[in-house]
């Protein structure tokens, strides 16, 4: 069975946690931008759902 963590181990785990949280925030920001782009494309589509023929 493992004993208590040292302060260095706790700090290391917190650094890993902070890195993971930052990465997830960047992923969520990217998803937000994709949703905004999709909404822009949908708003630009004609009401009948067909694009211009030409």
Q: Is the pLDDT of residue 5 over 70?
A: yes
Q: What is the pTM of this model?
A: 0.66
Which residue has 């004993």 as its token pair? 3
Q: Is residue 50 part of a domain?
A: no
Q: Is residue 24 part of a domain?
A: yes
* Number of domains, the chain: 1
Tens of pLDDT, residue by residue over 13-46, are 999 999 999 999 999 999 999 999 999 999 999 8
Give yes or no for a contact between 5 and 13, defined as CB atoms under 8 angstroms apart.
yes
Range of the domain at 36: 1-43
* Integer CA distances (angstroms), 39 to 14, 21, 51, in order: 37, 27, 16
Q: Is residue 22 part of a domain?
A: yes
């Amino acid at each position: 069975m493992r004993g208590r963590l040292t302060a260095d181990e706790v700090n290391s785990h917190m650094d890993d946690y902070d890195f993971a949280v930052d990465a997830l925030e960047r992923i969520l920001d990217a998803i937000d931008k994709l949703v905004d782009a999709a909404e822009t494309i949908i708003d630009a589509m004609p009401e009948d759902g067909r694009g211009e023929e030409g």
